[in-house]
Structures are given as structure tokens and as C-alpha cells.
Amino acid sequence: MKINMFSAKSSTFDCQKHAKSPVMFICSLPNCNFGNFVCDNCIKTEPHHTSIHKNFVYNINDFLSHQNTKVSTKLLPSLNQTLVDIEKKLSIYSQHIETETQEIDRDFAALFKIFFNASETTKTFLKENVKNELKRLNEKLVNLKKNSKEVIEQESPKKNESFLGSFLSKDPDKIEASNTEELISKLILKNQNFNKLRAEILNLSGETETAGSNPVKYKKNDQSKKLYDEIKDNFDKSCKDMYRQFKLLFEGMEPSDMRKSIFTMKKSLQPQTISIDLDNVSTKSFSSPGQKPKHLIPEGSDVIKKKVAIQSFPEDLNPNIAKVHKTFGTIDYKQEDSFFNSLPEQGPFQYEDGSVYQGNLKDDLRHGRGRFLFSDGAYYEGYWKDDIPYGFGRFIKNNGDFYEGMCVNLKAHGKGSFFSPDGYVYNGEWENDKKHGVGQEVFPNGMDIKGTFENGYLHGNASIKFPDGSSYVGEIRNQKVSGKGEFTYANGEKYFGQLVNGKKDGNGIYLWPDGRRYDGQFSNDVNHGNGMFYWPDGVIYNGQWKNGYQHGFGIEKNEKEGVQREGEWENGKWMRWTKQQKI
């Protein structure tokens, strides 16, 4: 049966995933892993069509009405209008960015009078960061306008075609199909360039709206304004430190009250069993369970500020701290380009709580570089600011855990490394004492994780090497293997596709070393739904699966025998043939 545009527009059919649930939407992404035919239940159970693929999704009637013709006739004009609107919004946003860069110019003019060459580096960095988003959005706009023009040219009739010839010739854009599903599949392939363009334009429109409602600001808070004034007043002493501080500020550092917390880091522990489920992890903290974090300077107390000079810094350190010094040596101050390195050392001094400090002082406060022995035996050496550890340093706990890297308010913040005596290592980015950004974890049993972290948890893209030789590359969500990924088992088997909480779930491909292959749907880590199974001898099964077994209707194709059979299976057992034909 041929189906024309009018009949296709009113045709309905049920979703393959949810019985008796009509298809209401079409995902125009070719070979969508979650299905091109989408019902209301699909929308509720599979979030990809309302998030990642949302700009590819159409109402089924709109899809059939608009796309079974030249896309330039109905759809491209509206998309081009969207591009015009984006251009107007970017123009307004550009004015805001120009105002921001002008403010940067005015502020830094005063600094240039003192030391032009030193401040030029910081100025360039700030302006580039302010302009980066606008530059990225404008580049996208230029490319999309170019792509839109190319699509229109492809849709336009050939110039050498005569009027009579175009009248008599068959319309090449008209799609014929025997049913609605075939028509939609052909339309998706035919108009894939247009649909990709549409999705990209809508994405850019959303990004432009976000940029306009939350624009980049050079002085984005009171802290950055205070930082500028402080640098201006002390520029003759701190010009070498200026660029580093602005860079840290723009990369997300939010300085807070510097007298509220001591180190409280967390690290995950690898489960004994090898699994791609990372949910069962425990944490290790610098604070003991049930204890409140200790404070470097007790709130509401001046006792610690009272000090007396002593003859020498204590050498009988905790054995774990002494072991760190023996293994890694003392901190290398030379790696930090700071004017503090030339200040004279003072002390040692002992405070009334028993703690000891030796290093630089400013207005009787620890300021510069110095080492500090806490009253409980913990040890810090590194840079200080206004009596608080700030910048590059090393903190060693009594149990041998230690951190070396950037810190703010005695919290890991910036790039740094954490080491534990049991062999655990994390090297990467931190924010407010939590793993946050790009980093690498190495566990005592040999497990190696490289990826992105968010608020202390693995989240984003990652690569994992397990102790048994297995590996995973793909998406992680809140410490759980979920999303699209590739898992390679130690025995050579491989899986490519969707995972949920460490289990195969959704569309995927499973390969065996001996040539077997399954391509289809999974649920709860087993074949479930529709799928094709290929045997090394050339036999192919295409049909329904349930809980890992062939179950329901299926087609078996045997090219060697030249036979194709349709039949029914139950829990992996063939029950009967319903049709047979030669191929």
C-alpha cells in the first residue's frame, strides 16, 4: 500500500516498547539509541528525549506535515528568523561585554603607571576570559548561518531546468512508502542535515538566552573588588603574585572566612569485588567520626596569638610525619614564584596551646612562608596570609595522610595531590576541600580512575582500569556507571551501549571473542526486548528476548542452508515454526 502525505498525517501506530501506547513524538536523530518512535511512556521512563535529544523531537503530526516536502518551504524561514533573533541578542550581549572590557581598561590604567609590563599579563588574561563566551557564541552563529545557506542551496531547483521539464519531471523530494513507519524512517534519513541544523540552532538560542540572563562580569562580587583594591595598594610588593591570584579567582575560587575550618578531606575506597558499580564506596576524613573539625584559631579567643620565643623547632615529630619528610623531603618553595621567598625567617615561637611556628611575620601575624606544628602533632609547611595557611603548602596528619598543593582557608582548593599510607593517591583539581574537576585516583589494589569529579564524587566522563584487567570508558553519574559507555572484560568480551547503575540497560552491542554478537535491547544486565544475535556459523536470530533468553516471536536466518524461518520461542527453547522460505 502506498501512503501519501494526507494519509500519513492522520495515521497512528503503537510504540514497540510500550504496548497499546500510540507513538506521539518523533526523534529525528538518525539511528537514535533510544528509538525514533516515542510515546508518552517513553517520555516518562527515558529522559534523553526531554534532555539530550529534546531539540531533535517533533510532534508526529508536525513531523509528517512539515518534512514530507522541501524543508526550505516551511521550516527554514522560521529557523532563519531564529538566527536573526540570536544575532540581535548577541549584539546586545556584545555591548555588555564591551562595557566590561572598558571597565577593565580603566582599572588597570592606574596599575600600568606603577609597573606596566607586570600588569599586562593579568589584563590580557582577564579580557580573554570575559570575551571567551561571546567569541564562542559568535563563531557558532557564523557557522550555523553558513550551514543554513548551504541547506537552502541544496533545496533550490537547478538553474538549468526548464519550466516544462520541471513540470513534467517527477518531484524528487516526494517520499513514497508502504506504511507510516517506513515513511518516517525515510524522512529522518532524507532530512538529517536539516534536523541536525535545527537542533544546533535551537541549542545556540538556548545558550544565548542563558548568556544574556547571566552575563559574564569582571567584578563579579565584593571579594573581587576588594582583591583589586588590595593589589593596587600593595602593587610594589605583590606584582609577581597578582596574575596567579586573579587566575585562581576566575577559575572558581570563592574565598570565605579564613578562620573557620581545618583540613577535612574525603577519599573513596575501592570495594573488594571488581564491579562497574561504584556506588559502594566509603569515605575517609581528616576529622574523626563524631568530632567537630578542629580550628586553627579558636573562634572568640585570642589565646593562640600569645607566643614566646624558643631555642629551636621541635625535631621529635610524629613517626608518620617524619616518614613523609624522609620519603618526600621538605616542601620545595622554589616552585612558587613569590616575593615571600626573600623575606627573613623569624622564630621559632611557641603558643600557649603548645603549637609552634617558624617563618615570616607581618604585623605580628603569620604571613609569608613558614612551618607550623599543631598542638595535636599535625604539621603544616607552606604559605600564609593574615595568620591563615593560604596558597601552596603541605599538610600532614598524625596518621600519615597528607596533602600537597594549593589551599585556601586550610582547605584544598586548586591543583593538589593527596596521599595515604595505604597506597591511595589522588592527583588533580579541588574545590572547597572536595575533589572537583579533572583528576586521577589510584587505589592500593591497582585500580586506576581518570575523569572528572564534582563535589567529591566521580561525575562526567571517565576511564577506569580494574585490578583484574577489565576496563571502562564512558559516562559516570554521581559515582555510578550510568549513561553511554564501553566496557572491556578481562576475558576479551566487550559491551558498547547504555548502562544504568553499572548494569547494561537500554540499547547496546555485546561481542564475544569467538565471533558471537548481540545487537539490541538490554534490561537489568541481560538481553531483554528486541535484538539480533549472530552466531559464528552464520546463523542469525532477529526477534524478541526476555530475561536473557529468546522468548516470543522471532526470525531465524541460515544463509548456508539458504532458509529463513519465522517461529516462536519460550525461555530460550524453540517451540514451533510458523513460516519458512528460501533465501
If one counts every other C-beta atom within 10 angstroms of the C-beta of residue 270, the result is 21
Residue 249 has what pLDDT?
Answer: 53
Enumerate residues 6+ apart whose C-beta is below 8 A from 249.
223, 224, 227
Which residue is associated with the grid cell 576529622?
Answer: 287
Cα–Cα distance measured from residue 31 to residue 580, given in angstroms and rounded to the nearest whole number: 30
Ordered structural domains, the chain, with CATH:
1-215 (no CATH), 303-459 (2.20.110.10), 518-583 (no CATH)
**H-type helices in 317-465, by residue range?**
319-328
Residue the block writes with cell 586548586: 414
- What would the pLDDT profile of 393-405 be if each residue is shown by its tens digit? 999 998 889 999 9
Please tell me the distance from the alpha carbon of residue 495 to that of residue 472, in angstroms, as a whole number: 9
Residue 555 sits at the vertex; the CA angle it makes with 553 and 556, to the nearest 5 degrees, is 130
Give this prediction's pTM.
0.48
Residues 87-137: tens digit of each pLDDT: 888 889 888 888 888 887 877 776 666 666 666 777 777 778 778 888 888
Give the single-character DSSP code of 283.
Answer: B
- Burial class of residue 423, CB neighbours in 10 A (0-12, 13-18, 19+): exposed
> 360 with 366: CB under 8 angstroms?
yes
Question: 210-222 burial, b for 16+ CB within 10 Å, e for fewer?
Answer: ebeeebbebeeee
Beta-strand pair 402-408/411-419: antiparallel
DSSP notation for 407-421? EETTEEEEEEEEE-T
Under a CB-based contact definition with an 8 Å cutoff, are residues 415 and 433 in contact?
A: no
| pLDDT at res. 453 | 92
Question: In 10 A of CB 146, how many CB atoms?
Answer: 9
**Per-residue pLDDT at 418:** 93
Among candidate residues 82, 84, 73, 52, the one with its CA nearest the CA of residue 191: 73
**What percent helix, strand, coil does the chain show, rounded to 5?**
35, 35, 35
What count of residues does the chain have? Answer: 583
Look up residue 36 and give its DSSP letter.
Answer: S
- 194, 71, 73: which is closest to 144 by C-alpha? 194
Looking up cell 529522518 gives 188
Q: How far apart are CA 201 and CA 55, in angstroms?
A: 9
What does the pLDDT look like over 418-468, one tens digit per residue? 999 888 999 999 998 899 999 999 999 889 999 999 988 999 899 999 988
* Residue 335 confidence (pLDDT): 53
The CA distance from 50 to 147, in Å, is: 25
Q: What's the pLDDT at 554? A: 93
Residues paired with 381 in a beta bridge? 371, 394
Q: How far is the C-alpha of 353 from the C-alpha of 307, rounded, in Å?
A: 9
**In 3-state terms, what secondary structure has residue 421?**
coil
Provide the strand spans (E) within 78-170: none
* C-alpha angle 441-442-448 in degrees, rounded to nearest 5: 85
- Residue 58 makes CB contacts below 8 A (sequence gap 6+) with 25, 26, 28, 66, 67
Model pLDDT, residue 260: 26
| CB distance 197 to 151 below 8 Å | yes
Query: Which residues, given as ranges, of the chain have pLDDT below 70?
Result: 1-11, 47-48, 68-77, 110-119, 155-173, 219-221, 232-305, 333-342
Residue for cell digits 570575551?
131
Q: Determine contact, residues 307/349, Cβ cutoff 8 Å.
A: yes
